Structure 1
Amino acid sequence: MSIELRFLPAQAGDAIWIRWTDDDGTRRQILVDMGQGATGKRIRQEVAELHETERHFDLLVITHVDADHIGGAITGIAETVPLDGWTFDDTWFNGWPHMLGFAAPRNPPLEAQGPVQGEVLAKWLGDSPWNEEFHRKAVERTTPLQTSACGDVLITVIGPPHRRLERFKTTWAEKVNEAVDKARLPQSDRRDATNAVPQGGRRRPVAPVIADDRQLDQLADRNRAEDTAPANGCSICLVLEWNNQRVLLTGDAWPTDVCEGLDVYAAERHLQSPLDFALVKLPHHGSQNNVSDELLDRIRCSEWVISTSGSIYYHPDAPAIARLLRSRRRPRPRVHFNVPSEFNQWWSSPPLGQPEDWTKRFNYSTTTGTAADGLTCTVFADGSVTTSGETS
C-alpha cells in the first residue's frame, strides 16, 4: 500500500491532501489544514470536480487557528453553501470549549464561543462531527497517546500538550478574528514575497554565503531562540503509520513540544531514538525558531517537506536549512519545497557569487513543486518516496 501526500500551493500556509487505498480496496482521504482563504476556494473547486461519490473525507484536521491554516476552512466550507457529497466522518479542531477544558457542545447558541467563533466555526461544527474520536474534548497529547485507525493507517496524536491550550485562552479571540478577517480579504489585497517592504516584523533576507562546512555551521548556530507564539504552540501534531512506515506532520508546533511527543511515542512503542520516518513535514514552514538540532537529532529521515511560498515571513529560514544539512547522523537529505520561491530556490540553484553548488558541497538534493499544483509525495510500502516536482 502506498500513500499520496499532496502539499497544495497554500501561499504562506499548509494544506495537505492525503489519499490512499486500503488493502481491501476502500479509498481513503484526509485534509490537514486548508491554507488561506484563496486556498480553501481552490480546494472546494477541486472537490466539486470530483464525482459526488468521491467527495467524502474520512477526516479534516485544522491544526490551529492561524489564518494560513484555518482561513481556507472558512472560505471553502464554513461560509459557503454545502457541496453535495462533501462530508467528513470527523473534524479535529480545538475550539474555545477546548481551551477551557470542556467538550464541544452540540448545536451551541451563536454567542456561546464569542461572536466570531460562534458565527463562523461553531455554526459549521456545532451539529457536525467534531473531535468525536476524543468524545468532543480537546485533540491533545494524552497519557497514553491516543491512536486512531483510519482504515489501514494508524494516526497518533503527539501534540499539543494541554498546557499550550490553557496558555492560548488569553489571545484566542484575537487570533480567531485575525484568521477570519484574512480569509475574507480579496486575493489582490494580500502582499507576497515579491514585495520588498518589511513584513511580519522581519526584513527581507539576503542569500547567505556558504563556502565550506565551517560557514554552514556558523549559519546553523544563528538565531536559536524558540518560537513562543501561543497559536503555534497549540498545533495538532500527527504520526501516520502503516506497514512499518511513518510520516510526521507537525503543523507550526514548538520544537520542544514535538521532541516531547516523539520521546513519549518512542517509549510507548519500545523504539530507539532517533525514530525512523519515511517523510517529515518540518514545523512552521522551515522557521529557524521551530527547527532545532534537538528535534532533528530525534529523527532519522531522508525526505523533508517545507510548505510555504515565502510570503509574509520569508520562510524557510537559512539557519533552519543549515541545521538540517549539517547533521552527519541522518541519511543524505532530500528537501522538498511545495512551490518555488526566491528563498527556497537558493538551496536548489545557489545565487551568483557562490563558490560552488551547495547540493554537491553538502551532499543533498532538492525537489520543487509548481505554483499551479504544489508538490505530491508518494510513500511506498518499502519506505521509498517519489515526488511530482523538479529535482536538483
Structure 2
Amino acid sequence: MSHHYSINCLPCGHGDSILVEYGDRTDPSRILIDGGPASHYETLREALRAIPKERRSFELLVVSHIDTDHIDGALILLQDEDLGATFNDVWFNGWPQLESISVNTPPDVFAPQQGEFLGSLLQEHHWNASFQEYDGRVAVPNSGPPPSLQLSGGATITLLSPPDTKLLALRKAWTRALREAGMKPGDWVEAAARLAQRKEYKPKAPRKDVFAAKAFGSDSSAANGASIAFILEYQGCKVLFGADAHVAVLTNALHRLAEQQGVERVLLDAVKLPHHGSMANIDGEFLDVIKSPRFLVSTNGAHFGHPDPDTIRLLADRAPGAEIRFNYRSDTTQIWEDTELAATQNIRPIYPPDGQVLDLTL
C-alpha cells in the first residue's frame, strides 16, 4: 500500500480552509480544518466535489474558532446537503463547552453569534465526541504533557491549544454579545431560526484590525486565544496546525511536549503559521522550541495585510534556510520572490501551485 500525508491550503482569500489527507493514496483518510470565509465557499465546495461522493466521509472536521474567515464556510458546508459530506466527529468549542467551565470569567471583547449558528447545526452531528471525558471541551490541561488522541487510519493528534483560561476569556464576551443581540446562549431553536433567515450567508464587513500594534506575540483577541491548534502525526511525519492561536499558549504546550519527549526542540516536518503569518502570533521563543524545514502561510493578504514582513524576517533569523510555502501569489507574499532578497533573508519562498499543496514523503 502506498502511503501519503498531504496538506492542501485551499485558496480561500484571507481565511483558512485546509484539507488534509493521510493513508492509502487510493483511499485516504481525510480531515478538514476550518471552512474559510463565506465569500470563498465555492473554493471549498469544488475541492470536496473532486472527491468521489461515496468517499466524502471525513475522520474529523475542526472549526478552530469563531472568526468569520474560519467559521463561515463551515456554516454553509453543514447545510450543503447536495454535497453529502459526513464527519465522524466535529471539534468546536461552543456555548456548552464554555458553560461547563466552573470558575470566574475575566473581561474580554468579541461577538460570537456565528458560534451559536454552528451550535444549532451540530445538534445532528457527533460534537467533540473525542473529549467527552473532559466535559466535551477541546482543551489542554493546565499541567502535564499535552493530550494525544488516536484517529482512525493510524494518525495521532497532539493538542496544543486552547487551555481553559482562554476559553474563559471568551465566555463572558460570548454572553455579553448575545445579550446585546437579543439571544440566549445555547438556545438552538432561536439560533436555527435566525440562521434560516440568512439564506445566503455572507461574512461581516471587515472589522477594525485589532492586531495593528507592531509587536511580536501581542494578539489579545478572545476568539483567537480559544483556537483549537494541534500537531497531526502520521507515519512519523508531524505537522503543526496553528489556527489563530496565541503564541504563548502554543509555546507553553510545546515546552511541555519537549519535556515529555526529553528533547530541547520539538521536531516538525511543517508548521502552518498561526493567524496567517501575523507577527502578533509568533515570536522567537516559539521558533526556538521547534525545529522545522518548512512553514505554510495561508492568506491572500486581503483586509489585514498578512503575512507581516517582520514574521518572514523572524523566520529567516530563527529558521535559516527554511521553505516558506505561500498558497497565494499576492502583494503581501510575492515581495519575497526576488532571488536576491530571498538570499539576503535566508529563506526559500514557494508559490502556487506547489505552495498550496504539501505532500510529505513517506
Report the TM-score when normalising by structure 2. Answer: 0.82
Task: Give structure 1 stretches of 5+ with no counterpart.
Answer: 104-113, 192-197, 204-221, 351-356, 382-392
- Matched to 1:326, the amino acid is D
Match of 1:200 in 2: 209
Any conservation in 2 of the 1:48–1:83 contact (CA below 8 Å)? Answer: no
What 5-or-longer segments of structure 2 have no aligned partner?
Answer: 103-111, 182-194
Alpha-carbon shift at residue 123 of structure 1 (Å): 2.4
1:93 partnered with 2:92: yes
Q: 2:129 aligns with which of 128, 132, 139?
A: 132
1:339 to 324, 328, 333: 328
Task: Tell whether 2:358 aligns with 1:377.
Answer: yes
Residue equivalent to 1:60: 61
User: Amino acid of the residue matched to residue 276 of structure 1?
Assistant: L
Q: Structure 2 vs 1, CA of residues 225 and 132 (structure 1 numbering), >3 Å: closer, same or farther?
A: closer
Equivalent residue number for residue 184 of structure 1:
201
Residue 287 (1) aligns with residue 278 (2): yes
Letter paired with 1:162: D
Whole-Å separation in 2 of the counterparts to 1:226 and 1:256: 10
SS for the counterpart of 2:304 is: coil
Q: Distance in 1 between matches of 2:355 and 2:325?
A: 11
TM-aligned CA distance change 1:266 to 1:122, over 3 Å: same
Measured after TM superposition, the shift of residue 374 of structure 1 is: 7.2
Relative to structure 1, is the Cα distance of residues 117 and 251 closer, same or farther in structure 2, using a 3 angstrom cutoff? closer
Select 1:308's aligned residue among 284, 299, 302. Answer: 299
Describe how 1:75-224 pairs up with structure 2 within 5 A: 75-77=76-78, 80-83=79-82, 85-101=84-100, 117-118=115-116, 120-135=117-132, 137-142=136-141, 143-150=144-151, 151-172=153-174, 184-185=201-202, 200=209, 223-224=215-216
Aligned residues: 328
Q: 1:297 to 1:81 in 2, by over 3 A?
A: closer
Deviating 4+ runs (over 4 angstroms) = 114-118, 173-177
1:106-153 Cα distance to aligned partner (Å, 9 max, x none): xxxxxxxx97654x2222111310000001611011354321222221
Match of 2:341 among 328, 345, 358: 358
Q: Does structure 2 retain, via aligned residues, the 8 Å contact 1:102–1:137?
A: no
Give the conservation status (yes or no) of the 8 Å contact 1:57–1:89. yes
The match for 1:2 is 4
Paired with 1:4 and 1:332, the residues of 2 have a C-alpha distance of 22
> 2: CA distance between counterparts of 1:116 and 1:364?
38
Match status 1:239 vs 2:235: no
Give the whole-Å Cα distance in 2 for the aligned partners of 1:174 and 1:74. Answer: 22
For the aligned residue pairs, the C-alpha RMSD in angstroms reads: 2.9
Please give the residue correspondences for 1:313-328 in structure 2 after superposition, counting only pairs within 5 Å. Answer: 313-327=304-318
CA distance in 2, matches of 1:293, 1:36: 30
1:261 corresponding residue in structure 2 = 253
For the structure 1 residues 345 and 30, does the alpha-carbon distance in structure 2 shift closer, same or farther, using more than 3 Å as the test? Answer: same
Q: Is the 8 A contact 1:57 1:87 kept in 2?
A: yes
Secondary structure at the counterpart of residue 71 of structure 1 = helix
Q: What letter corresponds to residue 82 of structure 1 in structure 2?
A: E
Cα shift at 1:190: 6.3
Cross-structure match for 2:351 = 368
Query: Do the aligned residues in 2 keep the contact of 1:40 with 1:74 (CA within 8 Å)?
Result: no
Secondary structure of residue in 2 paired with 1:238: strand
SS where residue 359 of structure 2 aligns? strand
Residue 39 of structure 1: aligned partner: 40
Q: Summarize the Cα distance change of 1:149–1:26 in structure 2 as closer, same or farther, 3 Å threshold.
A: farther
Pair 175,376 (structure 1): closer, same or farther in 2 beyond 3 Å:
farther
Q: Which SS does the other structure have where 2:281 is aligned?
A: coil
Shift in Å at residue 97 of structure 1? 1.2
Change (3 A) 1:301 1:247: same
For residues 364 and 377 of structure 1, the distance between their equivalents in structure 2, rounded to whole angstroms, comes to 17
Partner secondary structure for residue 31 of structure 1: strand
* Counterpart residue number, 1:387: none
Q: What per-residue deviation string (whole Å, max 9, x for no partner) do you get for residues 23-81 of structure 1?
A: 9x75200001111013334323432343221111110001101001101011222xx34
CA spacing shift, 1:332–1:175, aligned 2, 3 Å = farther
Deviates more, 1:66-75 or 1:235-244: 235-244
Where does residue 52 of structure 2 map in the other structure? 51
Hey, what's the Cα distance between the residues in 2 that align with 1:67 and 1:346? 27
Post-superposition shift, 1:166? 0.6
Q: Distance in 1 between matches of 2:83 and 2:36?
A: 22
Deviation at 1:322, TM superposition (A): 1.1
The equivalent of 1:386 in structure 2 is none
In structure 2, distance between residues paired with 1:316 and 1:335: 11
Q: Percent identity?
A: 28
The structural deviation recorded for 1:202 is: 7.9
- The residue identity in structure 1 corresponding to 2:276 is H
Cα 1:175–1:13 shift into 2, 3 Å: farther
- State TM-score, norm by structure 1: 0.76
Residues 90 and 326 (structure 1), Cα distance of their counterparts in 2 relative to 1, 3 Å cut: same
Task: Give the AA of the match of 1:366.
Answer: P
